[in-house]
Structure 1
Amino acid sequence: MEKYVVRCSKCGEVHGPHSLNCKNGDDALLRTEYSSKQLHPADLPGIWRYQDWLPVNGIIEEGSGRTITYKSQGFAEEYGLEDLWIAFNGYWPERDAGMMTCTFKDLESFPTMQLIRELNEERIMVVASAGNTARAFSHACTITGQPLLLVVPENSAHRLWTTHEQNPSVCLVTVEGDYFDAISLAGKIASRDGFVNEGGAKNVARRDGMATVMLDAALTMGTLPDHYFQAVGSGTGGISAWEASMRLAEDGRFGSKLPVLHLGQNIPCAPLYSLWSDSDVVSDSCPEGMYDDVLFNRKPPYSVKGGVKDALDATGGMMYAVSNDEASASQSLFEKTEGIDINPAAAVAVAALVQAVEGGNVLPEDRIVLNITGGGQKRLMQDYPVRQIEPSAGVSAKDPNAEDEILNIVEGFFGVRI
């Protein structure tokens, strides 16, 4: 029996293991269906312990980070929460947390890279990112040697740091423009011969990697939570949590009620909140002025079948609009009470939880999972030297020749003819 199949969430058609779109043209996300209907953790390091529900057969041993779920005491006490669990993704050696990029994007990059290896893919992978995803894929590709083209907004390049001395397989190109501009250019490049698109939200390996946050939480608690909180840009993490919850409910050992999704965005640049609330909280200057602009995506997968709207509808979920002041206050309080630094995006999730408590959307006795999507960067930099990844060149999104310029940059960097 095959380990899994990839099926269209709309028409039910089965597709190949690296398919990104339905061949029947359906506007729908593909989804993995695993032959193992119960989750049995493997005796493997890190994320690979969830091998049953990852669309790969082997592992990358160096990719040994995973979510660490623990019961909160300090922050929970501040808000009178009796059953608050922190799903921590980052670097915190005192809790055995070892994501060397300090972001849960590691959970996406390593399964994707392993799938690429199993497909014997030698083409140059193309990744568009606002920073954290690029850092995670750079880390994975440096380990595996997979050639990688990163296309990143110019204002996000400061997030591209590494603990590796060299990244000879990683070519970084910055774009004068926003994240959507980077996605558009990357998509054009990836459609050319010699390149492969990693797929973003359409990539089942990425989503199932992120889904391990919910798997770790359920295994640690022994049950599905009542509520799940996360900050989102595209909303893919929320979709992943929903998909994991459905698998865990089918497992039969963790309860049958799906957790309510509580997804936070940072105003005044909150496209998903705007769509959900039928309001307009997207400024013309976005993503300028955001507490963390990694949370801005102009074209999130909201209405697509199997997308964010379906996830919210299926779980009775909610969206939250978090101001910079709310995020800053929540970050300070969390770091003080829990004893670890967190990334600004994670602070938006904390602030969403605060709004939910104050608004009565959760009760003191409810079992709650708070996804800290990135943390421990300051802690890591105490233990390891880091260096910035230098761009090979930059282009302007307004330049009609930008695509050709990137191709020339790639040819020079990798010494190949495209």
Structure 2
Amino acid sequence: MGEYLVRCLGCGRVQPPRALACQNDDSLLRTEYFTKRLTLRDDLPGLWKFIDWLPVKEPLPRCGEKPVTYRSEGLARELGLENLYVSFSGYWPERGARMTTCSFKDLEAPPTVERMIERNDDQVLVVASAGNTARAFALAASAVRLPLVLVVPPTGLDRLWISEKPGEEICVISVNGDYTEAIDFAARLAARHGFVGEGGARNVARRDGMGVVMLDGVLSMRALPKHYFQAIGSGTGGIAAWEASIRLIEDGRFGQTLPKLHLAQNTPCAPIYAAWTGSEMDKGRCPQGMYDDVLYNRKPPYAVGGGVRDALEETAGEVYGITNREAEVAQKVFEESEEIDILPAAAVAVAALLAAVRSGAVEEKDLVLLNITGGGVSRAKEELEMNLLKCDIKAESSALSKTSPSADDHLLAEIGEVLGRRS
């Protein structure tokens, strides 16, 4: 297990080990592991090989694949790069990638669920998602029969498939609105007695789980990359890569320079790109018409201590605004050169890499890690039996307000009935 402290990045005080926030400061918390040297646990499967740098006592049973890092040949040749590595999170058996949800959200859910189980307080976990995160948490919760409420916008319902039989302790709520309204609804539900939120970017288990991308990549490359590319919605994955890189520098074997973060969003619905570049964003259009609406989060952890802005400033990073057309071209280039399908969000990261090569920001011999955050859906649907989670409750985004307790009681009773009927 990973022995650790949890410290507030603002006031510097050590917090309770399973805390999500500091009482004195709005900054993010960060784990400080007692083990400073990264050592793979070959006796454990998947992402649990990195358990010394995960904030849990033990692995979650039957869950927890890791990404596969490989040295690119096809895309590298297309771009004229000698040292391009790809971290692939998805289903690609020939490469050894077996994330059946086909998304790197599979790295967040298992340590988050395990950390909650270790709290031993019998609360119902509430998770908001645009689709990919919901699949990952549904899979993890099903593995251990954890009661779970998934809150998604209507556009996320068709993404709620998993390759295992869904656990009976799952309730799906479709909230009329976009992803941000689903997040707000989930937060109000999590504040009710008997429910608990997973914490989003504030949960160190989620960030350290995503940090496995950088850990696995660096062990494969045997050095920290000069450049790291990823598409982002909230930007939590970028924070995770930065934090993992700090730990790898403390290890001492992989270099002393933080990788430059190249984070990509889908314009015009790109709040982090707008904040970083000072550009305007047409909020009225969003998220309609996006290449992938999972990349739109109206309230990202940008300016908080330890958030996206700090990560970009410390790594001399860059944020890219990628158009639908640029993402479409990049997806075709990647899929034809690497011979595997990828999710649209991952194509946005590829488009950022193409732009950086064209501009000269990335040079021929630079060591580059490209995070393909999801792929292999076509392969998975061909080879695996997929189970679609059905919507149990449809709710208005204004539900659970303080002004209508009778409506609250009715909705809470509905949730209890769904969970009770299946348990």
TM-score bucket of the superposed structures, by smaller chain: over 0.9
Q: Is 2:116 the partner of 1:111?
A: no
Q: Name 2:157's counterpart in structure 1.
A: 157
Q: Report the Cα offset of residue 4 of structure 1.
A: 0.2
Residue pair 1:90, 1:374 contacting (<8 A) in 2 also: yes
DSSP 3-state at the match of 1:111 = helix
Q: Report the Cα offset of residue 223 of structure 1.
A: 0.5
Q: TM-score with structure 2 length normalisation? A: 0.96
Q: Name 1:322's counterpart in structure 2.
A: 322
User: Between the two proteins, what is the percent identity of the paired residues?
Assistant: 53
Alignment of 1:221-240 (within 5 A): 221-240=221-240
Amino acid at match of 2:199: G
Amino acid at match of 1:31: R
* Cα deviation digits, residues 59-103 of structure 1 (max 9, x gap): 123114101000000011001011000000011111111111100
* Cα deviation digits, residues 225-278 of structure 1 (max 9, x gap): 000000000000000000000000010000000000000000110000000000
Q: TM-score with structure 1 length normalisation? A: 0.97
Residue pair 2:129, 2:183 contacting (<8 A) in 1 also: yes
| Aligned-CA RMSD value | 1.4
Q: Name 1:355's counterpart in structure 2.
A: 355
DSSP 3-state at the match of 2:120 = coil
Q: Name 1:98's counterpart in structure 2.
A: 98
Residue pair 2:233, 2:300 contacting (<8 A) in 1 also: yes
Q: 1:169 to 1:73 in 2, by over 3 A?
A: same
Amino acid at match of 1:301: P
Q: Name 1:410's counterpart in structure 2.
A: 415
In 1, Cα distance between the equivalents of 2:279 and 2:408? 35
Alignment of 1:96-245 (within 5 A): 96-245=96-245
Q: Report the Cα offset of residue 409 of structure 1.
A: 2.1
In 2, Cα distance between the equivalents of 1:405 and 1:261? 46
Q: Report the Cα offset of residue 383 of structure 1.
A: 1.0
Q: Report the Cα offset of residue 359 of structure 1.
A: 1.2
In 2, Cα distance between the equivalents of 1:333 and 1:303? 34
Residue pair 1:188, 1:403 contacting (<8 A) in 2 also: no
Q: 1:372 to 1:222 in 2, by over 3 A?
A: same
DSSP 3-state at the match of 1:229 = strand
DSSP 3-state at the match of 1:20 = coil
Q: Name 1:34's counterpart in structure 2.
A: 33
In 1, Cα distance between the equivalents of 2:224 and 2:252? 11
Q: Which runs of 5+ in 1 are unaligned?
A: none
In 2, Cα distance between the equivalents of 1:281 and 1:80? 34
Amino acid at match of 2:314: A
Q: Name 2:384's counterpart in structure 1.
A: 384
Q: Is 2:344 the partner of 1:344?
A: yes
Q: Report the Cα offset of residue 27 of structure 1.
A: 1.6
Q: Is 2:297 the partner of 1:292?
A: no
Q: 1:250 to 1:282 in 2, by over 3 A?
A: farther
Q: Report the Cα offset of residue 404 of structure 1.
A: 4.4
In 1, Cα distance between the equivalents of 2:40 and 2:104? 19
In 1, Cα distance between the equivalents of 2:116 and 2:46? 19
DSSP 3-state at the match of 2:103 = coil
Residue pair 1:267, 1:282 contacting (<8 A) in 2 also: no
DSSP 3-state at the match of 2:298 = coil
Q: Report the Cα offset of residue 403 of structure 1.
A: 4.6
In 2, Cα distance between the equivalents of 1:409 and 1:269? 34
Q: Report the Cα offset of residue 281 of structure 1.
A: 2.6
Q: Which runs of 5+ in 2 are unaligned?
A: none
DSSP 3-state at the match of 2:305 = coil
Residue pair 1:122, 1:146 contacting (<8 A) in 2 also: no
Q: 1:181 to 1:223 in 2, by over 3 A?
A: same
In 2, Cα distance between the equivalents of 1:167 and 1:285? 37
